[in-house]
Amino acid sequence: MASGSALVRSASVYTIEIATILIAALLAFLLRFDFSISGIYVKVLRVAIAVWVPVKLISFKMLELDKRWARYVSLTDLVRLSLSNIIGSAVSLVILLIIQSGVPKSVYAIDLLLSITLTAGVRVCVRVAGETLRNRGRTETRKPTLIYGAGNAGAMLLRDLRRDPAAAYNICGFIDDDPSKAGLVLDSVRVLGSGAKLPHIVEKHSVSLVLIALPSASGPQVKKILEYCTAASVPYKTIPGLAELLNDDGDLARGIRDVAVEDLLGRVPVILETGRISAKLRGRTILVTGAAGSIGSEICRQVAKFAPGALIAFDIAESPAFHLHREIVQKFPDLRFQVEIGSIQNVQRLADLMEKYRPSVVFHAAAYKHVPLMERHIFEAIENNVFGTFNVVEAARRHGVSEFVMISSDKAVRPANIMGATKRVAELVVRAFQPEGGTYVSVRFGNVLGSNGSVVPIFKEQIARGGPVTVTHPEMRRYFMTIPEACQLVLQASTMGRGGEVFVLDMGEPVRIVDLAHNLILLSGLRPEVDIRIEFSGVRPGEKLYEELNGMEEGLLGTHHQKISVFAGATRPRADIELHLKEFRRHCANRDREALLRELKSLVTEYMPAETTASAQTH
């Protein structure tokens, strides 16, 4: 049953609609007869009103115009109003002609024009009055704010802010770097100038904040804007980027947030084939190893959106797994979600897990990933990244898992470190040991921004301490993408495999680490080399100046998805891999580091150990 306030509102809407119908009808007859209606046409007017009122109200109801608030009327609403009046007038015309009402033909046209004008005019007046009342007396309590970007996004942001009664921004002007827009007025707000003039504009208008409304801006463009804002000593925020807008409700005002380092990458949003992904995941049991890590946890979030039958999160880290469980259960209360604690090195634990849940799809994200640590812990790297992957693959095979996706790394290409070499061996294991009819694949990508222990949180800690920010080398470059983007593409790649492929994600252009440091300092509202120094510490063992995504011996082939390619590289027979694994186990048991390195090099022939790499980079 509708509430009292809803009934009052509905009654008010229909009362106003009836009033506009009556006024339009009366005015139509008055205009037709020069404001002197004879007695015979008074009767005709009554007949016309008797038809127009119910017919137009029915049309009004059919187009659900009674459910649309006049105070938020939009262009779409006005189009629907016009359509409602046209339909109502057309049906009324047919009825009045059939009953031979005697209504003059010109009255029909006049009535239609008046009806559209009055119904639209009433709603526009209500919106204007509502916005005026909401804004009256509140301007002084709001922050004087500039919108950077006088395009569609800027205009939409201005509209949303005016609609939002809780908005704390008083928009006093636009900033735009397009010279042709200087001086233009958008919805009564003027374009005051370009970013280069920002310090003067901020001082003149006592601006407290800049809202960046350029969702499609490139990384260099965003960086330049931040430099303008820093020079003007004014804080800044941004609206959602294109990737966020695709998954949002379009309310820009509610999406205002701090500028993030991801915005400086200027990544193009991922377009997913959601139908194919849904067909693979919906209603099925999905297991994610390493589920509490940065990549594993995001895979869980992305998979959960596709309504799997069950989602099992497996990890050895209990505290992060506990927090992940709380998050997923809160966001997806109807999902059957279970956290299981254990190690991929424990064969029996994996067997028990597979037996208990019988997953259809496994996303294997568990791995040791830190390059310097793995250089000093070669046995642990082999035991976890190689034997652990083998254990998961074997458990999956024996329990009928048809689809398996391993998260690999760009460091597996011509590896210069233990971590990369072990991930390359893991790729070979996945390819060699997939079952008949199964689809076991690997997906390679580079660094993800903000992952646990990555360079971004380290730089943020150094900036918070006042610096310096330490970078290994001025020309050190890495590929970067966001965690959600990487995981979305992993799901997409999982739908494309036939078995044994190594997919590679489009990482865009490599980013200089020193540029990333500059950007993070800017995001902190500070000036690089003035407020925060950058120091170079030297290349560490096992590091390359430039990471690669495909090796020279591998053929890079395109797929139907523009952001995913596949390698058609050489593989190794299963018997060969089994022999190497046997030797790995023997050398690990004997703790024979040199023998283990030789065995690793014999399997991954392109592997150049750290000592050789360090020597090569000094020449």
The pLDDT tens digits for 131-182 are 666 555 555 557 889 999 888 888 888 888 877 666 778 888 999 999 888 8
- Pairing mode of beta strands 477-478, 511-512: antiparallel
Instruction: Give residue 424's pLDDT.
Output: 94
pLDDT, position 451: 62
Count each helix (H run) and each strand (E run) in the chain, helices first: 22, 21
What are the DSSP E strand ranges found in 280-424? 285-289, 310-315, 337-341, 361-364, 403-407
* pLDDT over 80 (residue 296): yes
186: Cβ–Cβ under 8 A, 6 or more apart, which residues?
A: 150, 154, 155, 158, 174
Dist. CA 550–CA 166, nearest whole Å: 51
- Arithmetic mean of pLDDT over the chain: 83
Q: Which of 231, 259, 287 is the last residue of a domain?
A: 259
| Helix H or strand E segment including 589 | helix 574-590
**Among 32-36, 205-209, 265-269, which range has the highest average pLDDT?**
205-209
Q: Is residue 466 part of a domain?
A: no
Q: What is the DSSP string of 111-140?
A: HHHHHHHHHHHHHHHHHHHHHHHHHTTTGG
| Residue 203 in domain | yes
Per-residue confidence (pLDDT) for residue 313, from 0 to 100: 97
Percent of the chain at pLDDT exceeding 90: 33
Q: Name the pLDDT band for 37 (thresholds 50, 70, 90).
A: confident
For residues 487 and 584, state if they share a domain: yes
Final residue in a domain of this structure, among 135, 166, 192: 135
Indicate if 317 and 350 belong to the same structural domain: yes
- Are residues 247 and 164 both part of a single domain? yes
Q: Are residues 56 and 128 in the same domain?
A: yes
Amino acid at the residue 171: I
Question: Between these two residues, 598 and 218, which has the higher pLDDT value?
Answer: 598
| Same structural domain, 430 and 318 | yes
What tens digit of pLDDT does each residue of 419-450 get? 999 999 999 999 999 898 889 999 988 777 66
- 50 shares its domain with 113: yes
Q: Is 458 inside a domain boundary?
A: no
- The more confidently predicted of residues 348 and 612 is 348
- Residue 616: band (very low, low, confident or very high) from pLDDT cuts 50, 70, 90: very low
Same domain, 300 and 410: yes
For the residues 102-107, what does the mean pLDDT come to? 88
pLDDT at 569 over 80: no
Distances (CA, A) of 537 to 293, 351, 373: 28, 45, 17
Position 299 pLDDT exceeds 70: yes
Q: What is the DSSP letter of 555?
A: P
pLDDT in tens, 43-60: 888 898 999 889 888 888
Residues 208 and 303 both lie in one domain: no
Highest mean pLDDT among 77-81, 369-373, 394-398, 407-411: 394-398
In a domain? residue 457: no
Given a cut of 60, whether residue 615 has pLDDT beyond it is: no
Residues 236 and 301 grouped into a single domain: no
Residue 297: inside a domain, yes or no? Answer: yes
Token pair 């390195």 is found at: 597
For 344-353, write each residue's pLDDT tens digit. Answer: 999 999 999 9
538 is a domain residue: no
218 & 283 share domain: no
- 8 A C-beta contact, residue 290 and residue 365: yes
pLDDT at 576 over 50: yes
Asked if pLDDT for residue 505 goes beyond 90, the answer is: no
* Same domain as 503, residue 426: yes
Q: Residue 219: which domain range?
A: 139-259
Top mean-pLDDT range of 39-48, 210-219, 316-325, 513-522: 316-325
514 in a domain, yes or no? no
Using the 3D structure, point to which of 69, 101, 135 is the last residue of a domain. Answer: 135
151: in domain: yes
* Total tally of structural domains belonging to the chain: 3
SS3 content of the chain, % helix, strand, coil (to 5): 55, 15, 35
CATH number at residue 374: 3.40.50.720
The least confident of 26-40, 74-88, 270-284 is 74-88
Q: Are both 57 and 73 inside the same structural domain?
A: yes
